[in-house]
Structure formats: structure tokens, C-alpha cells
Amino acid sequence: MATDNSFDVVSKVEIQEVKNAIDQATKEIHARFDLKDSKSKIELEGTDTIQLASQDDYKLKAVVEILSQKLVKRGVSLKNLEFEKVEPAAGSSVRQKVKLVQGIPSEKAKAIVAAIKDSKKKAQASIQGDTVRIVSKDRDVLQEVIALLRGKDFGVELQFTNYRSS
């Protein structure tokens, strides 16, 4: 009797890891000589936006660099960050918002489904909100689909979760 096996393709950012990275980056900013009096700040606003602020563009770039290093060390992919443009703030300082991308945007989900269809593998892909569910009768086909998706760049970090065999 053939059973269906499935898994979900998701793109999630672990908020606790982002908070930890922000804490580490803030400590480094306060410790670095070139950034000591620059009034540089990194703050998490809600659960989907990071606010960066600094004295000038050069120092803001340094803050972005430090934050990026800390996020990567904590396992948060930089693909899930959308940097908005730098805007001037009070007293000749600058600020920048960074959006955390949670879930797979619909155009990227469509690209994932299309890639699976184009591969001619015996698997069905369906978009369910901000996740993509992959279903196949054969577990090996699911492994091949995972390898296929890992080999392509869809612009967001993909995780494979919720494996089920029914």
C-alpha cells in the first residue's frame, strides 16, 4: 500500500537569536574605540524590524558590518534581511531600518513550485500561506527535491520541516 510522504519548506528567523546577536553587537560597538562616542544604537522594534542609528554613513556601515557578523555567528541568514535606504535623522546623524523576512514571499513560493515542476520529479508542491508543502509517494524523491532546492538560490534561507509519512 502506497503512502504519501510530505515535508514543508519554510523560511523563519529565530527572534531569540536576533536578540542575542543585537546584544553582542551592542557590546562590541560600545567597546570599539572608533565607535565609542558615535551614539550608535541597534534596537529591535516589534518582531520584524531592526532600527540602526549612528553619527554618519561611515559609522553606520561599521554598525551594519558588526551586526551582520553577529547574526551569521548565531545562525541567522543574511538572506532574510531587507535593508531599507539610509535616512538622515536629528543632529546630522543617520538611521536605517532592517526588515526581518519571515515566511516565504508568494513570488518566491511560486518560483519554488515552478522549480519542482520543471525538475520532472514525481512530487507535488502546493503553496500554503507562507510555506510550501511537498508531497510524494517516495521518500527518495523528497530527498532529491531537498537537494534540488538547496542547490538553487531563491533569495531567502530555506528550512525543511514537518516531515510526515502517512
CATH of the domain at 92: 3.30.70.990
Domain count, the chain: 2
Range of the domain at 63: 15-100
Phi, psi of 51 (to 5 degrees): -105, 120
More confident residue, 34 or 111: 111
A 10 A CB-CB count for 125 gives: 21
Phi, psi of 46 (to 5 degrees): 65, -140
pLDDT of residue 1: 40
CATH number at residue 127: 3.30.70.860
Q: Are residues 89 and 111 in the same domain?
A: no
Q: Note the pLDDT tens digit of each residue in 51-85.
A: 888 888 888 888 888 888 888 888 888 888 888 88
